[in-house]
Structure 1
Amino acid sequence: MRYAIFCYDCEDTVAAWSGAEDAQVMQRLGEACARLDANGARLGPSARLMPTVRAVTVRSGSEPMVLDGPFAETKEQLLGLWLLDCDTLDEAVAAARELAAQKSSGAFEVRPVQDFFAAGAFAAGAQSAGT
């Protein structure tokens, strides 16, 4: 079963980290991912999202409307995600706990993923929006 682990935190708190603090958290998360992978967690893609000031929301309806910024005013924002393949929800929760242990704030949500795209649906070598 595939699962997504969503990382939420206060965007302003994370933005206030020094470059060294940010690098340290990202290094710890990378090391945690390596441990999970070595222990058979079958990690898939992961992504760190750009700040919400760069977000655009498209609202559905008879004439879809495009709005600047994130959809919801919330205390914590979605900052990143991991995809993984685990046999059980408990294994996915254990992976989320390992990731959460690398940060001093925020929350990690685990949610089952229903496959929608066929394998390889993303173009190889696609660039991120930040490049």
Structure 2
Amino acid sequence: MQYALLIYDAEESPAERAAQTVPADVAEMLGRPCVAGWARLHAAGSATTLHHGEGAPLLTDGPFVESKEYIAGLIVIDADDLDGALAIAEAFQATRSNGAIEVRPVIEGRFHGA
């Protein structure tokens, strides 16, 4: 089963985010067979959110919610069950000094028309 690890971190400036490299211990974990894919995201301020407006879409700059922590990236992993996914998430969390990791199951299969 696949799980998404949503990586939350404090907001950083675009320059701070661009200057960061993936630490060696994180790079090692990202190379493990259980990791199906991953992506780092630009700073939350670079987001554009689309809302359902009255008759037309409404676009706003930035993320939908105001928060102290934003999604900084995501990792898709393969695990036998939630306990296995949590163990992998705990290993990733051990490489971090702050922030949170949300573990969420991925709906498997393709949707009709997709």
TM-score scaled by structure 1? 0.73
Aligned-partner residue type, residue 11 of structure 2: E
SS in 2 for 1:84: strand
Please state how far the C-alpha of 1:52 moved relative to its aligned partner.
1.3
Aligned-partner residue type, residue 29 of structure 1: V
| Residues 16 and 49 (structure 1), Cα distance of their counterparts in 2 relative to 1, 3 Å cut | closer
The one of 22, 27, 31 aligned to 2:28: 31
Superposed structure 1 runs of 4+ greater than 6 Å apart: none
8 Å Cα contact 1:33/1:99 also seen in 2: no
Aligned residues: 111
- Equivalent residue for 1:57? 49
- Equivalent residue for 2:82? 89
Point out the structure with the larger strand share.
2
Gaps of 5+ in 2: none
- Equivalent residue for 1:107? 100
Q: Deviations over 1:75-108 (max 9, x none)?
A: 1000000111211101111110111111101101
Alpha-carbon distance in structure 1 between the residues aligned to 2:68 and 2:80:
33
Aligned-partner residue type, residue 24 of structure 2: Q
Q: Deviations over 1:26-79 (max 9, x none)?
A: 322111223x42xxx2x1110000111211000124422111111110010000
Point out the structure with the larger helix share.
1
| Residues 98 and 57 (structure 1), Cα distance of their counterparts in 2 relative to 1, 3 Å cut | same
- Equivalent residue for 2:3? 3
- Equivalent residue for 2:61? 68
Alignment of 1:4-19 (within 5 A): 4-12=4-12, 16=16, 19=19
Alpha-carbon distance in structure 2 between the residues aligned to 1:91 and 1:56:
34
| Residues 64 and 14 (structure 1), Cα distance of their counterparts in 2 relative to 1, 3 Å cut | closer
Residue 33 of structure 2 corresponds to residue 45 of structure 1: no
> Considering only aligned residues, what root-mean-square deviation do their CA atoms show, in Å?
2.5
TM-score scaled by structure 2? 0.82
Please state how far the C-alpha of 1:8 moved relative to its aligned partner.
0.2
SS in 2 for 1:78: strand
